Amino acid sequence: MAKKIGIIGGSGIYGITEGMDLEKKTVNTPYGVSTDVYLFKVNNKDIAFIPRHKIGHKTPPHMINYRSNIFALKELGVNQIIATNAVGSLNEDNPPGSLILPNDFIDFTCKRDKTFFDDEVVHTDFSQPYCNRLRNIISKNGNLIKKGVYVCTEGPRFETGAEIRMFQKLGGDIIGMTGLPEAVLAKEKGICYSSICIVTNYSTSLSKDKLTIEEVFKMMEIKKEETIKIILNSIKDIPIDYECDCLNPL
Q: Write down the pLDDT at residue 57.
A: 77
Record the pTM.
Answer: 0.95
Q: Say if CB 238 and CB 5 are below 8 A apart.
A: yes
What are the tens digits of pLDDT across the range 19-75? 889 999 999 999 999 999 999 999 999 999 999 988 777 899 999 999 999 999 999
Q: Write down the pLDDT at residue 11.
A: 65
Q: Say if CB 222 and CB 11 are below 8 A apart.
A: no
Strands (E), 71-148: 78-89, 99-100, 104-108
- CATH of residue 162's domain is 3.40.50.1580
How many domains does the chain divide into?
Answer: 1
The pair phi, psi for residue 117, each rounded to 5°, is -105, 65
What are the tens digits of pLDDT across the range 101-134? 999 999 999 999 999 999 999 999 999 999 999 9
Q: Write down the pLDDT at residue 18.
A: 87
pLDDT value at 163 more than 90: yes
Q: Which domain does 122 fall in, by range? A: 4-247
Task: Please tell me the number of Cα atoms within 13 Å of 226 on its side-chain side.
Answer: 15
Residues 6 or more apart in contact with residue 138 via CB below 8 angstroms = 82, 101, 144, 194, 196, 230, 234
